[in-house]
Structure 1
Amino acid sequence: MLSIGEEIKQSHFRSEHQKSILNILLTANTIYASNSRFFKTYGLSPEQYNVLRIVRGNHPTPCTVLSIQERMLDKMSNASRLVDKLESKGLLLRIQCKEDRRQVSITITQKGLGILEEIAEPFESLESSLNCVSDPELIRFNEILDIIRNVYRDALINS
Protein backbone atom coordinates (compact mmCIF):
# COMPACT_ATOMS: atom_id res chain seq x y z
CA MET A 1 0.00 0.00 0.00
CA LEU A 2 1.49 3.33 -1.09
CA SER A 3 1.37 6.47 1.04
CA ILE A 4 0.29 9.78 -0.51
CA GLY A 5 3.96 10.84 -0.65
CA GLU A 6 5.00 7.67 -2.47
CA GLU A 7 2.02 7.87 -4.83
CA ILE A 8 2.79 11.42 -6.01
CA LYS A 9 6.56 11.14 -5.45
CA GLN A 10 6.70 13.96 -2.93
CA SER A 11 8.61 13.53 0.33
CA HIS A 12 7.89 16.89 1.95
CA PHE A 13 4.56 18.62 2.50
CA ARG A 14 4.08 22.18 3.72
CA SER A 15 1.78 20.89 6.48
CA GLU A 16 -0.42 17.97 7.48
CA HIS A 17 -3.33 20.12 6.23
CA GLN A 18 -1.84 20.28 2.73
CA LYS A 19 -1.02 16.57 2.84
CA SER A 20 -4.61 15.77 3.88
CA ILE A 21 -6.18 17.88 1.12
CA LEU A 22 -3.91 16.33 -1.52
CA ASN A 23 -4.74 12.89 -0.15
CA ILE A 24 -8.49 13.59 -0.36
CA LEU A 25 -8.15 14.86 -3.95
CA LEU A 26 -6.03 11.90 -5.07
CA THR A 27 -8.34 9.42 -3.36
CA ALA A 28 -11.44 11.03 -4.89
CA ASN A 29 -9.83 10.87 -8.34
CA THR A 30 -8.88 7.22 -7.83
CA ILE A 31 -12.41 6.29 -6.75
CA TYR A 32 -13.91 8.29 -9.63
CA ALA A 33 -11.66 6.52 -12.17
CA SER A 34 -12.59 3.13 -10.73
CA ASN A 35 -16.31 3.98 -10.80
CA SER A 36 -16.03 5.35 -14.35
CA ARG A 37 -14.48 2.11 -15.54
CA PHE A 38 -17.18 0.10 -13.74
CA PHE A 39 -20.17 2.09 -15.06
CA LYS A 40 -18.75 2.21 -18.59
CA THR A 41 -19.39 -1.54 -18.86
CA TYR A 42 -23.10 -0.69 -18.47
CA GLY A 43 -22.98 2.21 -20.92
CA LEU A 44 -23.22 4.81 -18.15
CA SER A 45 -21.09 7.50 -16.55
CA PRO A 46 -20.94 7.94 -12.76
CA GLU A 47 -23.02 11.12 -13.16
CA GLN A 48 -25.69 9.28 -15.15
CA TYR A 49 -25.79 6.55 -12.50
CA ASN A 50 -26.23 9.25 -9.85
CA VAL A 51 -29.23 10.70 -11.74
CA LEU A 52 -30.81 7.25 -12.09
CA ARG A 53 -30.26 6.59 -8.38
CA ILE A 54 -31.88 9.93 -7.46
CA VAL A 55 -34.93 9.41 -9.70
CA ARG A 56 -35.34 5.81 -8.48
CA GLY A 57 -35.20 7.07 -4.89
CA ASN A 58 -38.23 9.26 -5.62
CA HIS A 59 -40.07 6.58 -7.63
CA PRO A 60 -43.02 6.42 -8.24
CA THR A 61 -43.21 10.18 -7.57
CA PRO A 62 -41.71 12.12 -10.51
CA CYS A 63 -38.73 14.48 -10.11
CA THR A 64 -37.91 17.82 -11.69
CA VAL A 65 -34.53 18.68 -13.21
CA LEU A 66 -34.03 21.19 -10.37
CA SER A 67 -34.69 18.58 -7.67
CA ILE A 68 -32.22 16.24 -9.37
CA GLN A 69 -29.60 19.01 -9.63
CA GLU A 70 -29.96 19.80 -5.91
CA ARG A 71 -29.24 16.18 -4.99
CA MET A 72 -26.35 15.57 -7.41
CA LEU A 73 -23.00 14.62 -5.91
CA ASP A 74 -21.27 16.86 -8.46
CA LYS A 75 -23.11 20.18 -8.29
CA MET A 76 -21.40 21.29 -11.51
CA SER A 77 -22.98 18.47 -13.54
CA ASN A 78 -25.55 19.55 -16.12
CA ALA A 79 -28.60 17.64 -14.87
CA SER A 80 -30.69 18.61 -17.90
CA ARG A 81 -28.11 17.21 -20.33
CA LEU A 82 -27.76 14.03 -18.24
CA VAL A 83 -31.54 13.56 -18.26
CA ASP A 84 -31.52 14.02 -22.06
CA LYS A 85 -28.88 11.29 -22.46
CA LEU A 86 -30.69 8.90 -20.12
CA GLU A 87 -33.98 9.56 -21.88
CA SER A 88 -32.38 8.80 -25.26
CA LYS A 89 -31.21 5.45 -23.79
CA GLY A 90 -34.78 4.70 -22.67
CA LEU A 91 -33.86 4.80 -18.97
CA LEU A 92 -35.83 7.94 -18.03
CA LEU A 93 -39.07 9.44 -19.27
CA ARG A 94 -39.76 13.16 -19.50
CA ILE A 95 -43.43 14.15 -19.11
CA GLN A 96 -44.53 17.69 -19.93
CA CYS A 97 -47.25 19.19 -17.71
CA LYS A 98 -50.40 19.92 -19.71
CA GLU A 99 -51.30 22.99 -17.63
CA ASP A 100 -47.82 24.53 -17.63
CA ARG A 101 -45.63 23.43 -20.54
CA ARG A 102 -42.54 24.86 -18.79
CA GLN A 103 -42.93 22.27 -16.04
CA VAL A 104 -41.47 18.83 -16.79
CA SER A 105 -41.64 15.69 -14.66
CA ILE A 106 -39.01 12.99 -14.88
CA THR A 107 -39.65 9.34 -14.03
CA ILE A 108 -37.58 6.20 -14.32
CA THR A 109 -38.60 3.56 -16.85
CA GLN A 110 -38.70 -0.21 -16.30
CA LYS A 111 -35.51 -0.38 -18.36
CA GLY A 112 -33.92 2.16 -15.98
CA LEU A 113 -35.01 0.16 -12.94
CA GLY A 114 -33.68 -2.98 -14.63
CA ILE A 115 -30.21 -1.58 -15.24
CA LEU A 116 -29.99 -0.38 -11.62
CA GLU A 117 -30.99 -3.87 -10.48
CA GLU A 118 -28.37 -5.39 -12.79
CA ILE A 119 -25.69 -3.04 -11.43
CA ALA A 120 -26.58 -3.45 -7.73
CA GLU A 121 -24.73 -6.64 -6.81
CA PRO A 122 -21.51 -6.00 -8.76
CA PHE A 123 -21.41 -2.41 -7.44
CA GLU A 124 -21.88 -3.64 -3.85
CA SER A 125 -18.95 -5.96 -4.44
CA LEU A 126 -16.85 -3.00 -5.61
CA GLU A 127 -17.89 -0.96 -2.55
CA SER A 128 -17.10 -3.88 -0.23
CA SER A 129 -13.42 -3.27 -0.91
CA LEU A 130 -13.70 -0.92 2.10
CA ASN A 131 -14.33 -3.95 4.34
CA CYS A 132 -10.67 -3.63 5.39
CA VAL A 133 -11.74 -0.57 7.43
CA SER A 134 -13.88 -1.11 10.53
CA ASP A 135 -17.32 0.46 10.94
CA PRO A 136 -16.17 2.68 13.85
CA GLU A 137 -13.25 3.91 11.71
CA LEU A 138 -15.61 4.62 8.79
CA ILE A 139 -18.01 6.49 11.09
CA ARG A 140 -15.18 8.70 12.35
CA PHE A 141 -13.83 9.12 8.80
CA ASN A 142 -17.26 10.29 7.60
CA GLU A 143 -17.50 12.75 10.50
CA ILE A 144 -14.12 14.22 9.58
CA LEU A 145 -15.07 14.45 5.88
CA ASP A 146 -18.31 16.24 6.86
CA ILE A 147 -16.30 18.79 8.85
CA ILE A 148 -13.84 19.40 5.99
CA ARG A 149 -16.58 19.65 3.34
CA ASN A 150 -18.57 22.13 5.45
CA VAL A 151 -15.49 24.28 6.11
CA TYR A 152 -14.79 24.46 2.38
CA ARG A 153 -18.46 25.10 1.53
CA ASP A 154 -18.60 27.93 4.09
CA ALA A 155 -15.39 29.44 2.69
CA LEU A 156 -16.86 29.29 -0.82
CA ILE A 157 -20.11 30.92 0.27
CA ASN A 158 -18.32 33.67 2.21
CA SER A 159 -15.79 34.51 -0.51
Structure 2
Amino acid sequence: MNTKSYYKAIHEIIKTGHWITDAVGQVLKEDKITEPQFNVLRILKGQKGSPITVQEIQERMVQRSSNVTRIIDKLLDKGLVKREECPTNRRKMDITITPFGLEELERFDQKVIEFHAPYTQNLTAEEAETLEKLIKKLKGE
Protein backbone atom coordinates (compact mmCIF):
# COMPACT_ATOMS: atom_id res chain seq x y z
CA MET A 1 0.00 0.00 0.00
CA ASN A 2 1.07 3.54 -0.69
CA THR A 3 2.08 5.14 2.64
CA LYS A 4 0.50 8.43 1.57
CA SER A 5 -2.88 6.66 1.17
CA TYR A 6 -2.41 4.98 4.53
CA TYR A 7 -1.78 8.26 6.35
CA LYS A 8 -4.68 9.98 4.59
CA ALA A 9 -6.98 7.16 5.76
CA ILE A 10 -5.61 7.36 9.32
CA HIS A 11 -6.13 11.12 9.31
CA GLU A 12 -9.80 10.65 8.30
CA ILE A 13 -10.32 8.04 11.03
CA ILE A 14 -8.87 10.38 13.67
CA LYS A 15 -10.90 13.38 12.45
CA THR A 16 -14.07 11.29 12.38
CA GLY A 17 -13.47 9.94 15.87
CA HIS A 18 -12.98 13.44 17.26
CA TRP A 19 -16.00 14.73 15.35
CA ILE A 20 -18.26 12.02 16.80
CA THR A 21 -16.89 12.41 20.35
CA ASP A 22 -17.27 16.20 20.23
CA ALA A 23 -20.79 16.02 18.79
CA VAL A 24 -21.95 13.45 21.37
CA GLY A 25 -20.33 15.61 24.06
CA GLN A 26 -22.42 18.58 22.87
CA VAL A 27 -25.62 16.51 22.95
CA LEU A 28 -24.90 15.38 26.53
CA LYS A 29 -23.78 18.85 27.68
CA GLU A 30 -27.44 19.93 27.94
CA ASP A 31 -27.78 17.41 30.78
CA LYS A 32 -24.49 18.45 32.39
CA ILE A 33 -22.92 15.09 31.62
CA THR A 34 -19.63 14.56 29.81
CA GLU A 35 -18.85 11.92 27.22
CA PRO A 36 -16.46 10.07 29.63
CA GLN A 37 -19.20 10.09 32.33
CA PHE A 38 -21.63 8.66 29.75
CA ASN A 39 -19.05 6.00 28.87
CA VAL A 40 -18.67 5.02 32.56
CA LEU A 41 -22.46 4.75 32.97
CA ARG A 42 -22.66 2.48 29.91
CA ILE A 43 -19.90 0.27 31.31
CA LEU A 44 -21.73 0.02 34.65
CA LYS A 45 -25.04 -0.79 32.93
CA GLY A 46 -23.26 -3.64 31.13
CA GLN A 47 -22.40 -5.12 34.52
CA LYS A 48 -26.12 -5.88 35.09
CA GLY A 49 -25.91 -4.90 38.76
CA SER A 50 -22.57 -6.58 39.50
CA PRO A 51 -20.05 -4.22 41.10
CA ILE A 52 -16.86 -3.28 39.27
CA THR A 53 -13.66 -1.58 40.44
CA VAL A 54 -12.30 1.76 39.27
CA GLN A 55 -9.39 -0.05 37.58
CA GLU A 56 -11.76 -2.33 35.65
CA ILE A 57 -13.78 0.70 34.52
CA GLN A 58 -10.60 2.41 33.33
CA GLU A 59 -9.60 -0.68 31.32
CA ARG A 60 -12.97 -0.74 29.52
CA MET A 61 -13.25 2.95 28.71
CA VAL A 62 -13.32 4.03 25.08
CA GLN A 63 -10.91 6.86 25.89
CA ARG A 64 -8.56 5.79 28.65
CA SER A 65 -8.57 8.39 31.38
CA SER A 66 -6.47 8.78 34.50
CA ASN A 67 -9.36 10.81 35.94
CA VAL A 68 -11.72 7.86 36.46
CA THR A 69 -11.92 8.50 40.20
CA ARG A 70 -12.90 12.13 39.53
CA ILE A 71 -15.44 11.03 36.91
CA ILE A 72 -16.98 8.63 39.44
CA ASP A 73 -17.02 11.36 42.11
CA LYS A 74 -19.04 13.58 39.75
CA LEU A 75 -21.45 10.72 38.99
CA LEU A 76 -21.78 10.07 42.76
CA ASP A 77 -22.66 13.74 43.34
CA LYS A 78 -25.44 13.39 40.73
CA GLY A 79 -26.78 10.20 42.37
CA LEU A 80 -26.07 8.16 39.24
CA VAL A 81 -23.65 5.66 40.80
CA LYS A 82 -22.94 4.09 44.17
CA ARG A 83 -19.51 3.39 45.65
CA GLU A 84 -18.94 0.86 48.44
CA GLU A 85 -15.92 -0.73 50.02
CA CYS A 86 -15.17 -4.14 48.47
CA PRO A 87 -16.02 -6.83 51.06
CA THR A 88 -13.02 -8.99 50.09
CA ASN A 89 -10.42 -6.22 49.68
CA ARG A 90 -10.81 -3.08 51.76
CA ARG A 91 -8.37 -1.19 49.52
CA LYS A 92 -10.74 -1.51 46.56
CA MET A 93 -14.03 0.25 45.96
CA ASP A 94 -16.98 -1.41 44.21
CA ILE A 95 -18.91 0.83 41.83
CA THR A 96 -22.48 0.18 40.62
CA ILE A 97 -25.04 2.20 38.70
CA THR A 98 -28.09 3.33 40.71
CA PRO A 99 -31.70 2.86 39.54
CA PHE A 100 -31.76 6.63 38.93
CA GLY A 101 -28.53 6.27 36.93
CA LEU A 102 -30.18 3.61 34.75
CA GLU A 103 -33.17 5.88 34.12
CA GLU A 104 -30.96 8.82 33.22
CA LEU A 105 -28.73 6.64 31.02
CA GLU A 106 -31.79 5.53 29.06
CA ARG A 107 -32.60 9.19 28.43
CA PHE A 108 -28.98 9.97 27.45
CA ASP A 109 -28.90 6.93 25.14
CA GLN A 110 -32.02 8.17 23.38
CA LYS A 111 -30.43 11.57 22.76
CA VAL A 112 -27.29 9.93 21.34
CA ILE A 113 -29.40 7.66 19.11
CA GLU A 114 -31.27 10.73 17.84
CA PHE A 115 -27.93 12.41 17.05
CA HIS A 116 -26.76 9.39 15.04
CA ALA A 117 -30.09 8.81 13.24
CA PRO A 118 -29.48 11.05 10.20
CA TYR A 119 -25.99 9.55 9.65
CA THR A 120 -27.27 5.97 9.60
CA GLN A 121 -28.70 6.76 6.15
CA ASN A 122 -25.25 7.57 4.73
CA LEU A 123 -24.08 3.94 4.62
CA THR A 124 -25.84 0.72 3.72
CA ALA A 125 -25.70 -2.10 6.26
CA GLU A 126 -23.18 -3.83 4.00
CA GLU A 127 -21.00 -0.70 3.80
CA ALA A 128 -21.08 -0.31 7.59
CA GLU A 129 -20.03 -3.96 8.03
CA THR A 130 -17.22 -3.50 5.50
CA LEU A 131 -16.05 -0.35 7.29
CA GLU A 132 -16.03 -2.17 10.62
CA LYS A 133 -14.06 -5.10 9.11
CA LEU A 134 -11.53 -2.74 7.52
CA ILE A 135 -10.98 -0.84 10.79
CA LYS A 136 -10.50 -4.13 12.66
CA LYS A 137 -8.13 -5.33 9.93
CA LEU A 138 -6.13 -2.11 10.29
CA LYS A 139 -5.84 -2.80 14.05
CA GLY A 140 -4.70 -6.37 13.37
CA GLU A 141 -7.81 -7.96 14.87
TM-score by length of 1: 0.79
Q: Distance in 1 between matches of 2:26 and 2:83?
A: 28
1:98 Cα deviation from its structure 2 partner: 4.5
Q: Which runs of 4+ in 1 moved over 3 A?
A: none
Paired residue for 1:7? none
Name the counterpart of 1:79: 68
Partner of 1:31: 20
Alignment RMSD (CA, Å):
1.8
Structure 2 SS opposite 1:15: helix
| Structure 2 residue aligned with 1:40 | 29
| Counterparts of 2:134 and 2:64, CA distance in 1 | 21
Name the counterpart of 1:141: 131
Choose between structure 1 and 2 for higher RCO, CA contacts under 8 A separated by at least 6 residues. Answer: 2
- Seen in structure 2, the aligned counterparts of structure 1 residues 122 and 76 have a Cα distance that, compared at 3 Å, is closer
Deviation at 1:99, TM superposition (A): 5.0
Aligned partners of 1:47 and 1:77 also within 8 Å? no
Count of residues in correspondence between the two structures: 138
1:49 aligns with 2:27: no
1:74 CA displacement: 0.8
How far apart, CA to CA, are the structure 2 residues paired with 1:62 and 1:99?
12
Secondary structure of 1:59's counterpart equals: coil
1:58-77 superposed matches below 5 A: 58-77=47-66
Paired amino acid for 1:76: S
Ranges in structure 2 where 5+ consecutive residues have no aligned partner: none
